[in-house]
């Protein structure tokens, strides 16, 4: 059975236009400042580490160097995306599209996550050249779990409060709580910012591997639930328009 080339061409054209539109939305307004701030923060902290004679950078060090820039990059598009649609008066139009939550915001979240993954891959490559060798894909893979969680949490709260600035304040406070708890739960499966490249001395490799797997499963499950809850909220048109 031969597939009509026109159908394939039209399908690819629709995908291209959808990705192009959402990239314009993501890169609109002040996202570029968050991106520049994330890259600048990484370069600044990397330079301090590089020129510190007493520093001994390891993959665990690189994990923390890349964590905050990743969160900073994903923070704005996930938090302010809905408000930007509302401010640009496109939200009403988007709600007129059948299966709005799947055709628009699910695609947009996917684009955001792929974008963050690619940027972190470049930053991780720079870190490898400056500090120490490690698996690039493994590093970025583990970084994406807390970053996905924060991005999904930001998206979910933006659908609840429907105001980017209010969601931003709440997420900053909640992020500080998570960070404080990470010190207490540093070697726990409940630590959102668990560093898989830091192997505790008093824990066997088998137990540590089990903790890492459980941690990633918990984060992934919570991330999926938050995305689904946010998408469900997006079906309540009367709350947004």
pLDDT per position as a tens digit, 163-214: 767 878 888 888 888 888 877 777 788 888 888 888 887 788 888 889 999 9
Token pair in block for residue 177: 């709580």
Residue in this structure with the two tokens 């209010």, named with its chain if needed: 166
**What is the rounded average pLDDT for all residues in the chain?**
80
Q: Is it the case that residue 98 has pLDDT exceeding 80?
A: no
Q: Supply the pTM of this predicted model.
A: 0.82
Nearest to 64 by CA among 123, 122, 118: 123
What would the pLDDT profile of 16-66 be if each residue is shown by its tens digit?
776 776 676 666 667 778 788 888 888 898 888 888 777 778 888 889 899
Report whether 47 contacts 55 (CB < 8 A).
no
In the predicted model, is pLDDT for residue 1 greater than 50?
no
Q: How far apart are CA 151 and CA 120, in angstroms?
A: 15
- CA–CA gap between residue 54 and residue 75 (Å, rounded): 33
Domain boundaries, the chain: 5-239
pLDDT of 224: 92
């Amino acid at each position: 059975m031969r597939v009509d080339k026109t159908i394939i061409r039209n399908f690819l054209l629709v995908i291209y236009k959808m990705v192009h539109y959402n990239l314009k939305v993501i890169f609109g307004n002040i996202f570029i400042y968050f991106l520049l701030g994330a890259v600048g923060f990484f370069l600044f902290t990397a330079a301090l580490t590089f020129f510190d004679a007493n520093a001994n950078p390891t993959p665990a060090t690189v994990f923390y160097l890349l964590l905050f820039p990743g969160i900073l990059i994903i923070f704005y598009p996930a938090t302010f995306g809905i408000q930007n649609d509302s401010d640009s008066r496109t939200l009403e139009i988007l709600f007129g599209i059948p299966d709005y939550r799947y055709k628009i915001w699910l695609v947009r979240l996917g684009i955001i996550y792929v974008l963050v993954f690619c940027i972190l891959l470049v930053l991780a490559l720079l870190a490898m050249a400056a500090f120490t060798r490690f698996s690039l894909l493994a590093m970025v893979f583990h970084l994406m779990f807390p970053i996905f969680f924060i991005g999904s949490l930001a998206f979910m709260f933006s659908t609840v409060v429907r105001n980017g600035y209010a969601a931003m304040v709440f997420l900053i406070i909640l992020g500080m709580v998570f960070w404080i708890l990470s010190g207490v739960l540093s070697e726990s499966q409940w630590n959102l910012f668990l560093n898989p490249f830091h192997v505790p001395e008093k824990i066997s490799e088998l137990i540590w591997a089990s903790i890492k797997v459980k941690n990633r499963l918990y984060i992934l499950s919570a991330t999926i639930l938050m995305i689904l809850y946010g998408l469900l909220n997006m079906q309540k048109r009367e709350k947004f328009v």
